């Protein structure tokens, strides 16, 4: 499990430097602190590194994403 509550630009940078590799096969990454209008760019960054999108939850202007490392 990786949990991060950081703004989207930081999450995207963390994907660029290998954050997805920290998740074991079948493991979950929960990303929060994302402005709703930036959720798609974080999702795209994760999917580009092999993660599978599971769910997005929104509360007002904020979003949280759940992604999974394939088995």
So where are the chain's domains? 2-68
Q: Provide the pLDDT for residue 59.
A: 97
Give per-10-residue mean pLDDT for the chain (71 aa): 96 97 97 97 98 98 98 95
Residue 39: its pLDDT value, please? 97
pLDDT score of 53:
99
Superfamily of domain 2-68: Vaccinia Virus protein VP39 (3.40.50.150)
Provide CB contacts within 8 A for 35, sequence distance 6+: 7, 8, 61, 62, 63
pTM for the whole structure: 0.93
Tell me what pLDDT residue 57 has: 97
What gap in Å lies between CA 29 and CA 6, rounded to an integer? 13
What pLDDT is attached to residue 54?
98
């Amino acid at each position: 499990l990786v949990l991060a509550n950081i703004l989207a630009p930081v999450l995207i940078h963390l994907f660029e430097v290998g954050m997805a590799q920290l998740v074991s096969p079948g493991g979950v990454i929960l990303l929060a602190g994302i402005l709703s209008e930036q959720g798609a760019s974080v999702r795209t960054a994760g999917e580009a590194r092999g993660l599978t999108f599971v769910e997005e939850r929104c509360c007002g202007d904020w979003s949280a994403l759940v992604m999974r490392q394939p088995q």
